[in-house]
Chain A
Amino acid sequence: MKFLAARRRNPLVALGLLLAALVAVGGGYAAIANVQPAQASASSQTQVEEGKKLYLAGCSSCHGMEAQGTANGPTLLGVGAAAVDFQVSSGRMPLAAPGAQAVAKAPSYNEEQVAALAAYVASLAPGPAIPTEEDASFEGANVAQGGVLFRTNCAQCHQAAGQGAALTQGKWAPNLMQAEPKEILEAMLTGPQSMPVFSDGTLPLENKKQIIAYINNLQNASSPGGLDLGRLGPVTEGLFLWTAVFAALIGAAIWIGIKAR
Chain B
Amino acid sequence: MSTTSPVETAGAGAATYVDQRLGSNKFLARNLGKVFPDHWSFMLGEIALYSFLVVLLTGTYLTLFFKPSMVEVIYDGSYVPLKGVSMSEAYSSTLDISFDVRGGLLIRQMHHWAALIFVASMSVHMFRVFFTGAFRKPREFNWIIGVVLVTLGLGAGFSGYSLPDDLLSGTGLQIARGIVQSIPVIGTWGAFLLFGGEFPGTDFISRLYAIHILLIPGLILAMVTVHLIMVFTQKHTQFPGPGRTNDNVVGYPLMPVYMAKAGGFFFIVFGIIALVGGLVSINPIWVFGPYTPDQVSAATQPDWYIGWLDGALRTMPNLESHIAGFTLSWNVLVPAVIIPGIIFTALGAYPFIEAWVTGDKSEHHLLDRPRNAPTRTGLGVMAITFYLLLFIGGGNDLIASAFNMSFNSIIWFLRISYFVLPPLMFVLTRRICLGLQRRDREKLLHGYEAGRILRLPHGEFIEAHEPLSVKELAVITSKTDIAPIPTPQKTDIDGVKNKKYAIQSRRSKLSHFFYGENVPLPSAAEIEAGQAHVAADAALEAPLHAYEDADQISTFHGGVLHHPGMAATNAEQQNEH
Partners in one complex: yes
Interface residues of A (CB under 8 A from B): 100, 142-145, 147-148, 151-152, 155-161, 163-166, 168-170, 172-173, 214, 217-218, 221, 223-229, 231-235, 237-238, 240-242, 244-246, 248-250, 252-254, 256-257, 259-261
Decide: A160 near B279, CB < 8 A? Known: A237-B116, A237-B304, A252-B269: no
List 4 A-B pairs, minimum CB-CB distance, nearest first: A225-B281, A170-B406, A238-B304, A165-B298
Chain A: minimal CB distance from B336 (Å)? 18
B289, A170: Cβ atoms closer than 8 Å: no
Interface set of B (CB-CB < 8 Å, partner A): 38-41, 43-44, 46-47, 80-85, 98-99, 105, 109, 113, 116-117, 120-121, 124, 167-168, 252, 257, 260-261, 264-265, 268-269, 272, 276, 278-284, 286-289, 292, 294-304, 307, 395-398, 400-401, 404-409
List residues of chain A with CB within 8 A of the CB of B298: 155-160, 165-166, 173
List, sorted by A's number, 24 A–B pairs whose CB atoms are closer than 8 Å. Answer: A147-B289, A165-B398, A166-B398, A168-B408, A170-B400, A172-B404, A217-B81, A218-B287, A224-B99, A225-B98, A231-B284, A233-B168, A233-B283, A233-B288, A234-B302, A234-B303, A235-B395, A237-B282, A237-B283, A238-B303, A241-B117, A245-B116, A248-B272, A256-B264
Q: How far is the CA of A137 from the CA of B65 in the complex (A)?
A: 40
Find chain A residues with CB under 8 A from B407 CB.
166, 168, 170
- Which one, A145, A245, A250, contacts B40 given CB within 8 A? A250
Count chain A CB atoms within 10 A of each CB in B80, B281, B406 and give the residue with the most. Answer: B281
Instruction: Tell whether, in the assembled complex, residue A143 and residue B408 are in contact, meaning their CB atoms are under 8 Å apart.
Output: no
- Is the CB–CB distance between A144 and B82 below 8 Å? yes
In the complex, the answer to whether B302 meets A228 with C-beta atoms within 8 Å is: no
Contacting B261 at CB < 8 Å: which of A158, A225, A260? A260
Residues of A within 8 A of B397 (CB): 165-166
Please tell me if the beta carbons of A147 and B85 are within 8 angstroms of each other in the complex.
yes
Q: Within the assembled complex, what's the spacing in Å between the Cα atoms of A223 and B397?
A: 24
- Residue from the list A155, A172, A254 in contact with B297, Cβ < 8 A: A155
Q: Which residues of B contact A232 (CB under 8 A)?
A: 299, 398
A13 shortest CB reach to chain B, Å? 42
**Contact yes or no, B289 A245, CB < 8 A:** no
Verify B257–A226 contact, CB threshold 8 A.
no
Of B260, B268, B302, B307, the residue contacting A252 (CB under 8 A) is B268
Contact A254 B40 (CB under 8 A): yes
Contact indicator B84/A151 (Cβ below 8 Å): no
Q: A148-B85, A240-B280 are in contact. Are A155 and B80 (CB under 8 A)?
A: no
Provide the bound-state CA to CA distance between A159 and B168, in Å: 11
A163 to B299, CA, bound (A): 9
Q: A144-B83, A158-B298, A234-B302 are in contact. Are A225 and B401 (CB under 8 A)?
A: no
The interface residues of chain A lying within 8 Å CB-to-CB of B295 are 151-152, 155-156
Residues in chain B near residue A228, CB distance under 8 A:
281, 284
- Inter-chain CA distance A213–B304, complex, in Å, is 33
**Which partner residue on chain B sits nearest A158 by CB separation?**
B298
- What residues of A have a CB within 8 angstroms of the CB of B300 in the complex? 233
Residue of A nearest to B75 (CB): A144
Instruction: From the candidates B40, B301, B400, name the one contacting A233 in the complex (CB within 8 A).
Output: B301
Q: Is the CB of A170 within 8 A of B304?
A: no
